[in-house]
Amino acid sequence: PALHIQRHQFVVDFVRGKKPKKVVDLGCGECKLLKKLRFHHEIEMLVGVDINEAKIKRYMHGLAPISTDYLQPSFDWLSIELYKGSVTQRDARFKGFDLATAIEIIEHLTPADVEHFSAVVFGYMRPGAVVISTPNSDFNPLLPGLSGFRDRDHKFEWSRAEFRSWALRVCSEYGYEVEFTGVGEALHGHHDSVGFCSQIGVFYRLTASYPPNTLGDDEDVFSYTLLYHINY
């Protein structure tokens, strides 16, 4: 299957295994991952945020239940909310989640904004787990015809070592631990030398309330705009 499908399938498998109740997708884009996750009955709350309001508005109606969904007794209660907002800014409604996903988004941020992202996600939202995927530049020589980055909007593409050093720093700063994996394997035994096409870090929070008030205030901030809300 295509790489973007493999990335979303990785999250679906993670949800099947860990059964988070509240899930937030950061940089939800066309809402494709949210559309897959809404069929997982252990999830009670599904939230997405993206900076691109037009994109959300174009795709959000695909999250509405089709009439037969209501007839399925196994749909208990699911609330879906979509926001316009930037992952570099705090919003108190995004605290208290079991899982946050950031699939192919950090490489769209400037290095300064990656720092804001780290502080907001790991320091403020503090979800129980975080799944982050980003291109692995060690793999790029295997991509035919590629010169430069995989996408014109990418601000960087990290090697496995660069991703690792960022992730480990985040863990020690904010009290998480991380496991490295990925999707998209090289053929012909290249794997050990180049790794996965998309690298993935799975972060787990170590302590509920560390560090206190990282961002220096107790006040709840609401910087995102609700665009869509539906209850199944």
CB closer to ligand SAM out of 26 and 43: 26
Sheet holding 79-84, edge to edge: 176-183, 198-205, 129-135, 99-103, 22-26, 45-50, 79-84, 225-231
Q: Which residue's C-beta sits nearest to ligand SAM?
A: 29
In the complex, the smallest distance separating the C-beta of residue 7 from ligand SAM, rounded to whole angstroms, is: 6
What are the residues binding ligand SAM (CB under 6 A)?
4, 27-29, 32-33, 49-52, 55, 86-88, 103-105, 108-109
CB closer to ligand SAM out of 4 and 22: 4
Distances (CA, A) of 122 to 107, 194, 231: 17, 28, 28
CB closer to ligand SAM out of 6 and 75: 6
In the complex, the smallest distance separating the C-beta of residue 92 from ligand SAM, rounded to whole angstroms, is: 17
- CA dihedral (82, 87, 91, 97) in degrees, to 10, reads 70
CB closer to ligand SAM out of 151 and 185: 151
Strands 45-50 and 198-205: unpaired
In the complex, the smallest distance separating the C-beta of residue 184 from ligand SAM, rounded to whole angstroms, is: 13
Distances (CA, A) of 205 to 21, 58, 149, 172: 16, 34, 32, 11
In the complex, the smallest distance separating the C-beta of residue 109 from ligand SAM, rounded to whole angstroms, is: 6
Largest CA distance in the chain: 54
In the complex, the smallest distance separating the C-beta of residue 68 from ligand SAM, rounded to whole angstroms, is: 26
CA atoms of 7 and 24, how far apart (whole Å): 16
CB closer to ligand SAM out of 175 and 184: 184
